[in-house]
Amino acid sequence: MISSDPTQKVLARKEIISRYGPTRIGTLVFTNGCFDLLHPGHVSCLYEAGRCGDHLVVAINSDYSVRLLDKADNRPLIREQDRAVVVASLEFVDAVCLFDEATPIDLINQLGPDVLVKGADYRHEDVVGHEVVEQRGGRVALVPLLEGYSTTDLVARIKGVT
Protein backbone atom coordinates (compact mmCIF):
# COMPACT_ATOMS: atom_id res chain seq x y z
CA MET A 1 0.00 0.00 0.00
CA ILE A 2 1.33 3.44 -0.91
CA SER A 3 1.50 5.64 2.18
CA SER A 4 1.44 9.11 0.64
CA ASP A 5 2.13 11.23 -2.41
CA PRO A 6 5.82 12.23 -2.23
CA THR A 7 5.13 15.54 -3.96
CA GLN A 8 3.26 16.56 -0.79
CA LYS A 9 6.53 16.30 1.16
CA VAL A 10 8.34 18.80 -1.10
CA LEU A 11 7.77 22.09 0.69
CA ALA A 12 8.67 25.73 0.22
CA ARG A 13 11.12 27.19 2.74
CA LYS A 14 8.36 29.10 4.53
CA GLU A 15 6.33 25.90 5.03
CA ILE A 16 9.39 23.92 6.19
CA ILE A 17 10.14 26.58 8.82
CA SER A 18 6.50 26.73 9.90
CA ARG A 19 6.26 22.94 10.38
CA TYR A 20 9.77 22.07 11.56
CA GLY A 21 11.22 25.32 12.92
CA PRO A 22 11.99 26.16 16.55
CA THR A 23 8.39 25.73 17.77
CA ARG A 24 8.27 22.08 16.63
CA ILE A 25 7.61 19.09 18.82
CA GLY A 26 10.25 16.36 18.67
CA THR A 27 13.85 16.08 17.54
CA LEU A 28 14.64 17.58 14.14
CA VAL A 29 17.34 15.98 12.01
CA PHE A 30 18.68 17.95 9.05
CA THR A 31 20.88 16.95 6.15
CA ASN A 32 21.54 18.32 2.71
CA GLY A 33 23.04 17.46 -0.64
CA CYS A 34 22.60 17.48 -4.41
CA PHE A 35 21.23 13.92 -4.70
CA ASP A 36 21.70 14.09 -8.46
CA LEU A 37 21.51 10.35 -9.10
CA LEU A 38 20.02 8.74 -6.02
CA HIS A 39 22.06 5.61 -5.28
CA PRO A 40 22.40 3.11 -2.40
CA GLY A 41 24.99 5.32 -0.69
CA HIS A 42 22.50 8.19 -0.53
CA VAL A 43 19.71 5.93 0.68
CA SER A 44 21.89 4.48 3.42
CA CYS A 45 22.97 7.93 4.59
CA LEU A 46 19.40 9.23 4.61
CA TYR A 47 18.16 6.15 6.45
CA GLU A 48 20.82 6.55 9.14
CA ALA A 49 19.98 10.26 9.38
CA GLY A 50 16.32 9.40 9.91
CA ARG A 51 17.26 7.16 12.83
CA CYS A 52 18.83 10.14 14.66
CA GLY A 53 15.55 11.82 15.62
CA ASP A 54 11.81 12.23 15.15
CA HIS A 55 11.71 14.24 11.91
CA LEU A 56 14.11 14.24 8.95
CA VAL A 57 14.25 17.33 6.75
CA VAL A 58 16.43 17.11 3.64
CA ALA A 59 17.59 20.28 1.90
CA ILE A 60 18.44 19.76 -1.75
CA ASN A 61 20.65 22.05 -3.80
CA SER A 62 18.62 23.69 -6.56
CA ASP A 63 19.93 23.41 -10.12
CA TYR A 64 21.43 26.88 -9.71
CA SER A 65 23.09 25.89 -6.43
CA VAL A 66 24.60 22.73 -7.97
CA ARG A 67 26.19 24.89 -10.66
CA LEU A 68 27.58 27.20 -7.93
CA LEU A 69 29.39 24.17 -6.51
CA ASP A 70 31.12 23.75 -9.88
CA LYS A 71 30.34 20.04 -10.04
CA ALA A 72 30.64 19.88 -13.83
CA ASP A 73 29.21 21.59 -16.88
CA ASN A 74 26.58 18.92 -17.37
CA ARG A 75 25.39 18.75 -13.75
CA PRO A 76 22.88 18.38 -12.41
CA LEU A 77 21.72 15.50 -14.57
CA ILE A 78 18.26 15.43 -12.98
CA ARG A 79 16.17 18.58 -12.55
CA GLU A 80 15.71 19.95 -9.04
CA GLN A 81 12.00 19.21 -8.70
CA ASP A 82 12.51 15.64 -9.87
CA ARG A 83 15.41 15.12 -7.43
CA ALA A 84 13.26 16.50 -4.63
CA VAL A 85 10.38 14.12 -5.38
CA VAL A 86 12.69 11.10 -5.57
CA VAL A 87 14.20 11.90 -2.15
CA ALA A 88 10.73 12.67 -0.73
CA SER A 89 9.53 9.23 -1.84
CA LEU A 90 11.70 7.61 0.84
CA GLU A 91 9.42 6.80 3.77
CA PHE A 92 11.96 7.90 6.39
CA VAL A 93 12.20 11.41 4.88
CA ASP A 94 9.57 13.72 6.39
CA ALA A 95 10.11 16.78 4.21
CA VAL A 96 12.30 18.13 1.43
CA CYS A 97 13.17 21.73 0.63
CA LEU A 98 15.20 23.20 -2.22
CA PHE A 99 17.78 25.91 -1.60
CA ASP A 100 19.49 28.26 -4.08
CA GLU A 101 22.49 29.31 -2.02
CA ALA A 102 25.94 27.68 -2.14
CA THR A 103 25.30 26.31 1.38
CA PRO A 104 22.17 25.76 3.49
CA ILE A 105 23.45 27.87 6.41
CA ASP A 106 20.49 30.30 6.28
CA LEU A 107 18.01 27.43 6.37
CA ILE A 108 19.93 25.79 9.23
CA ASN A 109 19.80 29.09 11.14
CA GLN A 110 16.05 29.38 10.57
CA LEU A 111 15.21 25.76 11.43
CA GLY A 112 17.57 25.24 14.35
CA PRO A 113 17.89 21.46 13.93
CA ASP A 114 18.78 19.27 16.89
CA VAL A 115 20.96 16.97 14.80
CA LEU A 116 22.95 17.86 11.69
CA VAL A 117 23.92 14.79 9.64
CA LYS A 118 26.51 14.33 6.91
CA GLY A 119 28.41 11.35 5.56
CA ALA A 120 31.60 10.22 7.27
CA ASP A 121 33.62 11.57 4.33
CA TYR A 122 33.20 14.98 6.01
CA ARG A 123 35.27 16.19 8.91
CA HIS A 124 33.23 17.58 11.79
CA GLU A 125 34.68 21.08 11.38
CA ASP A 126 33.81 21.09 7.66
CA VAL A 127 30.10 20.43 8.17
CA VAL A 128 28.27 23.64 7.28
CA GLY A 129 26.25 24.82 10.27
CA HIS A 130 27.96 22.75 12.95
CA GLU A 131 28.66 25.84 15.05
CA VAL A 132 25.03 26.99 14.91
CA VAL A 133 23.65 23.59 15.87
CA GLU A 134 26.14 23.01 18.68
CA GLN A 135 25.64 26.51 20.13
CA ARG A 136 21.95 25.63 20.48
CA GLY A 137 22.76 22.38 22.27
CA GLY A 138 22.47 20.13 19.23
CA ARG A 139 24.99 17.76 17.73
CA VAL A 140 26.62 16.69 14.48
CA ALA A 141 26.39 13.05 13.40
CA LEU A 142 28.70 11.66 10.73
CA VAL A 143 27.16 8.48 9.37
CA PRO A 144 29.11 5.66 7.71
CA LEU A 145 29.29 5.59 3.93
CA LEU A 146 28.58 2.64 1.69
CA GLU A 147 31.82 2.10 -0.16
CA GLY A 148 31.84 2.25 -3.94
CA TYR A 149 29.04 4.75 -4.47
CA SER A 150 29.33 8.31 -5.69
CA THR A 151 27.42 10.17 -8.37
CA THR A 152 30.67 11.30 -10.00
CA ASP A 153 31.89 7.69 -10.23
CA LEU A 154 28.52 6.52 -11.57
CA VAL A 155 28.57 9.19 -14.30
CA ALA A 156 32.11 8.13 -15.26
CA ARG A 157 31.05 4.46 -15.42
CA ILE A 158 28.04 5.32 -17.58
CA LYS A 159 30.30 7.25 -19.94
CA GLY A 160 32.71 4.31 -20.01
CA VAL A 161 35.55 6.40 -18.58
CA THR A 162 36.43 3.93 -15.80
Q: Which amino acid is at 41?
A: G
Using alpha carbons, list the distances in angstroms from residue 42 to 16, 35, 38, 136, 149.
22, 7, 6, 27, 8
- All structural domains of the chain, each given as residue ranges with its CATH number in brackets, are 6-159 (3.40.50.620)
Supply the pLDDT for residue 141.
98
- Partners of residue 119 on adjacent β-strands: 143
C-beta neighbour count of 68 within 10 angstroms: 14
Mean pLDDT of all residues belonging to the chain? 90
**CA-wise closest residue to 155 among 49, 73, 63, 86:** 73
> Taking the model in full, what pTM does it have?
0.91
Coil, helix or strand for 119? Answer: strand
Q: What is the pLDDT of residues 100-122, one digit of tens each?
A: 999 999 999 999 999 999 999 99
For residue 100, give the H/E element and its range.
none
